[in-house]
Chains A and B, each alone.
Chain A
Amino acid sequence: MKCERIKQKIDELIFENNEMFAKEDTNHITNCNSCRSYLDESISANSTLEQMKKEPKLHNPDELTNNILSIIENVDQIPRAKIKNNYKIIRLARRSLAVASVGLILIFGIEQYIVFDKIQKLEDTTSKIANEQINISFQNVILYNTGMQIESFKEILNKEPNKQFHRKIKIRIILARLSALSINEIDNLRIRQLRQAFATMKSN
C-alpha cells in the first residue's frame, strides 16, 4: 500500500518538479528496491520530458515580422461597427427565437387546456343527466339514438373509451345526452307555457 502511494508521488514528480518527498518517504525509497528502481526510471523519464520542454529557436525573427507586416499592408481590419452589428443581429435572432418558442408553448398549452376543460365540462353535464333516473325524454332519446336501454347505456358509459367501438358509441351517447338536454329544456318551456295558459284560463 505504501509502495503504491510512493509510486504515485513519483509519477507526479515526473511532471511537477516542485513535488517534495517527506523524510519517511525518502527512508522508504532507500530501503525498498521496487520503489528505488521506479524512482530511477522516473528520473530518466523526467530528463526526456525536460528535453521536450526545451524552447525551440525562432530563426530569422525579423524576416517573420517583415513578412507579417507586408501581408497586413493589403489586409483590412474588420470594422468594430460591423462586428457589433453582427453580434446585435445574432443576439436579436437568438432572443426572437426564444420569445417565439415561449409564445408557441403558451398558445398550444392554453389551447390544450381549453379543449380539455370543455371536454371535462361536457362530461360533467352529461353525467348529471345520465344520473337522472326519472327522465323519460332522456331514456327515449337513448333508445332512439343507440337502440339501448338505459342500464346498458350506463354500463357502456362507465367504461374507459380505450377501443374504437367504445369511442364511437360514446360520441353517439354524448349526442344523445345533448339531445336529451335540449328536449328537457323544450319540455320545461312547454310546461311553463301550459301553466301560464291554465293560470290565464283560471283567472278568466
Chain B
Amino acid sequence: MPVEYKIFIDKARNGDKEAFGHLVKAHQQYAFNLAFRIVCNEEEARDVVQDSFIKIWKNIKLYNPDIKFTTWMYNIVTNTAIDYLRATKKVDLVNIDDFHEKLTKVSTDNPETKLYNQEIGQLIHSISDTLPEKQRLVFVLRDLQGMNSAETSDVLDLSITSVKSNLYLARRVIKEKLLKILSYEGRTI
C-alpha cells in the first residue's frame, strides 16, 4: 500500500474527513467493481459502495493496520452487497432460451455508455445467479476480480481449502452454462 494511503488512514482514524475523502476517491472504483459484480446493477452497486464507505468511516478505528486496507474494504463491500441482495431477495431465474439474446456479446465497447454496464451486469447475473451464495462470491472474487485464493479466503473469512472447493464447484456450473449457451448458438446459426 502506498505510504500516502497509510497517512490518510491514520488521519481518517483521527476523524479527518478530508483524508477519508482521498481514501474514498482512491478506492471507490475497486469497491464499485466488486459491488457491481455481486449485485449486477449500476445503481444498486453505487448504493452498496456508499453504504460500505459509511460503514468504513464508522468503524475505521476498528481497522487493524496489520491487514491490507483493501482486504478489509472488500470484506465490508462484500457483506454489504450480500445484505443488499438478501434484503431485496431478487428471484430472477431466467430460462436458458430466454436469456440467450442477452448473453451473446456486450454490444458496445464504449464504457461511457450506460448500456455497457447494463450488458455486463446482465451477463454476470445470468451466468452466476443460480450459484449458491458462497460459490458465487468465490467465483466473483477469484475469476472476475482476479484475486488469489489467499486474498479470497481473507475477504470471505473462509479457509483456502473451502475457497478452492467452492471455486471448483462454481466453475463446473459456469462452464456447463457457457457450453450450453454455445450449443444454443450453434443451433440457431
Binding site for B on A (CB under 8 A): 11, 14-15, 41-42, 44-45, 48-49, 51-59, 61, 64-65, 67-69, 71-73, 75-80, 83
Whether B127 and A52, one on each chain, are in contact in the complex, defined by CB atoms closer than 8 angstroms, is yes
Q: CB < 8 Å: which of A41, A58, A72, A76 contacts B179?
A: A41
List residues of chain B with CB within 8 A of the CB of A15.
143, 171, 175
Whether A57 and B111, one on each chain, are in contact in the complex, defined by CB atoms closer than 8 angstroms, is yes
Whether A78 and B58, one on each chain, are in contact in the complex, defined by CB atoms closer than 8 angstroms, is yes
Whether A56 and B121, one on each chain, are in contact in the complex, defined by CB atoms closer than 8 angstroms, is yes
> If the complex has contacts A48-B181, A64-B28, are A54 and B60 also in contact, measured as CB distance less than 8 A?
no
**Distance to closest chain A CB from B66 (angstroms):** 16
Majority secondary structure of chain B interface residues (helix, strand, loop or mixed): helix
Whether A77 and B53, one on each chain, are in contact in the complex, defined by CB atoms closer than 8 angstroms, is no
Whether B117 and A56, one on each chain, are in contact in the complex, defined by CB atoms closer than 8 angstroms, is yes
List residues of chain B with CB within 8 A of the CB of A78.
58-59, 61-62
Since A55-B111, A59-B117, A68-B54 are in contact, a sample of 20 more A-B pairs with Cβ atoms closer than 8 Å, ordered by chain A residue number, is A15-B171, A41-B182, A48-B105, A48-B127, A51-B123, A54-B120, A56-B37, A64-B50, A65-B24, A68-B50, A69-B17, A69-B21, A69-B24, A72-B57, A73-B17, A77-B15, A77-B57, A77-B58, A78-B58, A78-B61
Whether A58 and B143, one on each chain, are in contact in the complex, defined by CB atoms closer than 8 angstroms, is no
Binds A, one of B41-49, B86-94, B155-163: B41-49
List residues of chain A with CB within 8 A of the CB of B53.
68, 72
Whether B28 and A61, one on each chain, are in contact in the complex, defined by CB atoms closer than 8 angstroms, is yes
Whether B61 and A77, one on each chain, are in contact in the complex, defined by CB atoms closer than 8 angstroms, is yes
Q: CB < 8 Å: which of B17, B28, B103, B183 contacts A72?
A: B17
Q: How far is the CA of A76 from the CA of B17 in the complex (A)?
A: 11
